[in-house]
Structure 1
């Protein structure tokens, strides 16, 4: 039971990084990114492949962030003039392109067979239980560091410019802000965080394949950010852990309802995810921890 709890908390930390990544781009600058699973996959494959080539793990994870950021910049060039539904469709297409490349370019990604034997830090020396505890601590420290960085960024002048772009892009442009530059920087940073999450996932599982990066992951992260509160990093953090625990709890439906086939249990789990999203949108449309926007200062009145 303890091993399962450690696994759930570790997975929750990886999902928390994805939620923070989405919250930065969606809650910060207002760009709907449905391609999160693509950047997640880019980071996982990049770190896994260079680590198998003999690159030390810290450098491999750093490269995953850099390659993720580069992919984010590439996606930004294709979507910079798009908004709303059009942006969502293009980013979703980007994620599918990444998955199809991973599935078909066997010379690089080994196709549907996946990449196995991915190095895991100190797994041989510590054993399975010791490695799981170490990795939980590593993921938790990284999540805390990213959270504190994004929280500070959210309260900085840079964060206020992002919110201005989110609320009224034309007004921000009129105020002299380079909207394109801010969008590119934000998308690159968001993609780098998603790439880091992918690297952590790959080295934790020691095996990845295209099936691990289905678009459903993006739906889970959207549920996490929506449930936690769009635009607030602590809300994204809380929502991610809630969603992971919710998903893991539904795994036991087969034990509660023994008449159900495994395929039926899997289908019911997906239905419950959709119902949970609808309930959150109906009962708490602003999320559990909604964004707090400070009121504008009142003008001073002369006597």
Structure 2
């Protein structure tokens, strides 16, 4: 059970990273990207191939991030001046093109046979007792960071709700904020306790879990600073009506390009963790479904809200694990039927959510970009 929860934590963390990049592009800037997995492909294959050539893993990750940023620059420069649907079409095409290149260029990517036995971060690391306590201490700091940001987010939501709704902000709205905060605190506590046990009984996946959580915390905090800066306010203005910032002398194209490139860089980092988690990568691992899973995460959590994106990733993987648990314990449904049922149920959940709360769980209705 401990190792399964470690797997869920890693999966939730890397999908949250991946979706944070999409949330920056769409939730904050209004850029429709249906090929977000293209950046993950660049990050995963660049990291793996360069590390196999003897390059330090950290440097390989940086080059992958730069490569994804360049890809975002090329895609954005050719489409961002056109209508929004052109960007959506180009991103889908580029993602499929890169997947087919990885599938057919066996001299580079080994094709459908995939790449195995590549260097892994902390792959040969065997900490002593002091090292284990140090990692547990880092995990504790991360837990305090999450709790601190959680209370700040709850306080902000309460304040914004009172300012927007005034006296109509009654107990139901306050209770929803409190319930979501308590629910998240319980998840943090479970993850922390399980993480402490896993790190004390150290395995490779335990170390990777800690790396994922550190990366997620750094990216989340960095994005939070950016989106609340003047740069982030320009992105929100572009999302709502780009003619207004344009009239104020802002270079709309350049801001869009920056957002698209940064979102791609974050997705590239998620691609590196994706390769490290499964220790083998195949072209079939990067199908369009991964992009649409990220869209599901952003829509559920709330577009334009980074905390909502992380909550959406948690709910998504909780749903995935529960449906697998049903499959493992009942004989009345086959794996193929369960796969179809998963899609049907999550589609139904999305339909209900969009009707009842189109801004998502933590999103703000006044900042909704679904109608663009």
Structure 2 length-normalised TM: 0.75
> 1:161: how far off?
0.6
SS in 1 for 2:234: helix
- Contact 1:120–1:204, Cα closer than 8 Å, also in 2: no
- Contact 2:76–2:87, Cα closer than 8 Å, also in 1: no
CA distance in structure 1 between the aligned counterparts of 2:116 and 2:223, rounded to whole angstroms: 33
**Cross-structure match for 1:258:** 331
SS in 1 for 2:124: helix
> 1:265: how far off?
1.9
RMSD in angstroms over aligned alpha carbons? 1.8
Structure 1 length-normalised TM: 0.92
**Cross-structure match for 1:85:** 85
CA distance in structure 2 between the aligned counterparts of 1:82 and 1:264, rounded to whole angstroms: 42
Structure 1 stretch 285-294 or stretch 122-131: which is displaced more?
122-131
CA distance in structure 2 between the aligned counterparts of 1:279 and 1:46, rounded to whole angstroms: 40
- Contact 1:227–1:284, Cα closer than 8 Å, also in 2: no
CA distance in structure 2 between the aligned counterparts of 1:79 and 1:187, rounded to whole angstroms: 11
**Cross-structure match for 1:197:** 270
Q: Pick one of 248, 253, 260 that aligns with 1:187.
A: 260
CA distance in structure 2 between the aligned counterparts of 1:253 and 1:142, rounded to whole angstroms: 32
> 1:257: how far off?
3.7
Change (3 A) 1:247 1:84: farther
CA distance in structure 1 between the aligned counterparts of 2:125 and 2:215, rounded to whole angstroms: 22
CA deviations 1:175-207 (Å, max 9, x no partner) are 100011111111111100000100111122211
Instruction: Tell me if 1:27 matches 2:100.
Output: no
Instruction: Tell me if 1:247 matches 2:320.
Output: yes
Q: Where does structure 2 lack aligned partners over 5 or more consecutive residues?
A: 128-200, 368-372
CA deviations 1:231-261 (Å, max 9, x no partner) are 1111111111211221222112323441322
Change (3 A) 1:213 1:152: same
Q: Where does structure 1 lack aligned partners over 5 or more consecutive residues?
A: 295-303
Structure 1 stretch 73-82 or stretch 204-213: which is displaced more?
73-82
CA distance in structure 2 between the aligned counterparts of 1:291 and 1:104, rounded to whole angstroms: 44
CA deviations 1:85-129 (Å, max 9, x no partner) are 332222111111111111111111111111111211232344995
Change (3 A) 1:235 1:121: same
Q: Pick one of 353, 356, 362 that aligns with 1:283.
A: 356
CA distance in structure 1 between the aligned counterparts of 2:326 and 2:88, rounded to whole angstroms: 33
Mapping 1:66-105, distance limit 5 Å: 66-105=66-105
**Cross-structure match for 1:43:** 43
**Cross-structure match for 2:297:** 224
- Contact 1:31–1:83, Cα closer than 8 Å, also in 2: no
Aligned length: 294
CA distance in structure 2 between the aligned counterparts of 1:248 and 1:211, rounded to whole angstroms: 21
**Cross-structure match for 1:166:** 239
- Contact 1:118–1:202, Cα closer than 8 Å, also in 2: no
SS in 2 for 1:211: helix
